[in-house]
Amino acid sequence: MKAVRVEKNGEDVSLHVDTVEDPTPGPGQVRIAMEWGGICGSDLAYWRHGASGTAILREPLILGHEVAGTVDMVGEGVETVKVGDHVTVHPATNVGNHVMPEHLKDRDNLWPECRYFGSAAFLPHENGGFSTYRVVREDQIRHLPDSVSTRHGAVAEPLGVAIHAVHRAGDVRGKRVLVNGTGPIGALVVAAAKHAGAATVYAADMAEAALKIASAMGADVVIDRSKGEPLPEDVDIAIEATGVSRTLGDVFLSVVRGGRVVQVGNMPAGEVPAALGQIVTREIEYVGSYRFIDEISDAIQAMAEGLDVEPLLTHTFDIDDALEAFQTAGDRSTGSSKVMLKLS
């Protein structure tokens, strides 16, 4: 089968499409004939830097955790999945013998050790799904209804991240919500907030193309920060999706006193400069949002109910053109947001 892999040789990182052995499902496992994959920021980080956060490439890695396809083989004992089912995948596997405290018992995303599709956090690395086939456990399967295509089903994972961020914000019904940064996750947060009943969603970014996508995803007001347009005042909730610390001061000032800011954009691992004084004087609640629990299922339901992710999908490439796809995804001047790989 074909697989999109990255490999580090010294200081150089290469991305190529390799031919590897077809996998066969064992007991309790399912093989998916992969059809679509979305390129994520962590995929780009492995290709550009040979690392994503603290996870460093130490062996060849098949990328991709935003994937969907059709089941083409099931292993012994599988009861809830059959050949021909259209599915996406929950890409996380929690490992290690840990005991979660009572207050975290339902927050699996905070488990101390997690193997994730397309991640170099462990050795051996956890291969992703940018390949012709991928074998997964039966419990990782999430079925797609007839109204959700596999192309859109591949977006269930990042949409799950966005929905989790909205959940971390609390009840947004009837609220004024600012989304700072409208890359793929930010644009999906816009859609998720509107789907959850936000009255007004403001979307701020430096890129005109990103703001057009945010508008198509449901933003009521777009704010072009490259033109010096100010953030709104006294929003109830802000969801920060850039991961750029220098923006935090303005974001804190835009939130009503006693309001909440959710950080979903990944921050660098080291020290970063940020203006945090407003957290104290305005009693702002600043909370993190990490991946998702099972909001991937909520994402599928939301798409079935009409949440349209198509405006986000700006470019499509065949698997053989994976390098060009990554180059496009990594260059905002192309107008790219979510770049899709056609895997078969």
The tens digit of pLDDT for each residue in 164-212 reads 999 999 999 999 999 999 999 999 999 999 999 999 999 999 999 999 9
Whether residues 280 and 324 fall in one domain: no
> How much of the chain, in percent, has pLDDT values that exceed 70?
100
- Domain boundaries, position 327: 2-155+309-342
The CB density around residue 302, as the number of other CB atoms within 10 Å, is 23
Whether residues 151 and 171 fall in one domain: no
Provide the domain count of the chain. Answer: 2
Q: What's the pLDDT band for 61 if we cut at 50, 70, 90?
A: very high
> How much of the chain, in percent, has pLDDT values that exceed 90?
90
Whether residues 31 and 147 fall in one domain: yes
Whether residues 93 and 18 fall in one domain: yes
The Cα–Cα gap between 128 and 36 comes to: 13
Whether residues 8 and 144 fall in one domain: yes
pLDDT at position 268 is: 77
Q: What's the pLDDT band for 323 if we cut at 50, 70, 90?
A: very high
123: CB partners within 8 A, 6+ apart: 58, 59
Query: CB of 236 within 8 A of CB of 256?
Result: yes
Whether residues 128 and 42 fall in one domain: yes
Per-residue CA distances from 219 to 124, 138, 213, 242, 321 (Å): 42, 37, 9, 17, 33
- Asked if residue 302 belongs to a domain, the reply is no
Q: What is the pLDDT of residues 113-137, one digit of tens each?
A: 999 999 999 999 999 999 999 999 9
Domain at 216, CATH number: 3.40.50.720
Whether residues 194 and 64 fall in one domain: no
Whether residues 281 and 319 fall in one domain: no
Q: What is the pLDDT of residues 23-43, one digit of tens each?
A: 999 999 999 999 999 999 999
Whether residues 280 and 175 fall in one domain: yes
293: CB partners within 8 A, 6+ apart: 106, 107, 108, 109, 164
pLDDT at position 36 is: 98
Whether residues 183 and 258 fall in one domain: yes
pLDDT at position 236 is: 98
Whether residues 230 and 177 fall in one domain: yes
Q: Which residue has the tokens 């101390």?
A: 112
Domain at 136, CATH number: 3.90.180.10
Q: What's the pLDDT band for 10 if we cut at 50, 70, 90?
A: confident
Query: CB of 277 within 8 A of CB of 286?
Result: no
- Asked if residue 172 belongs to a domain, the reply is yes
Q: Which residue has the tokens 């305005």?
A: 282
Whether residues 136 and 7 fall in one domain: yes
Q: Average pLDDT for residues 75-92, to the nearest whole number? A: 98
How do the residues of the chain divide into helix, strand and coil, expressed in percent and rounded to 5? 30, 30, 40
Tell me what the pLDDT averaged over the chain comes to: 96
The Cα–Cα gap between 1 and 243 comes to: 36
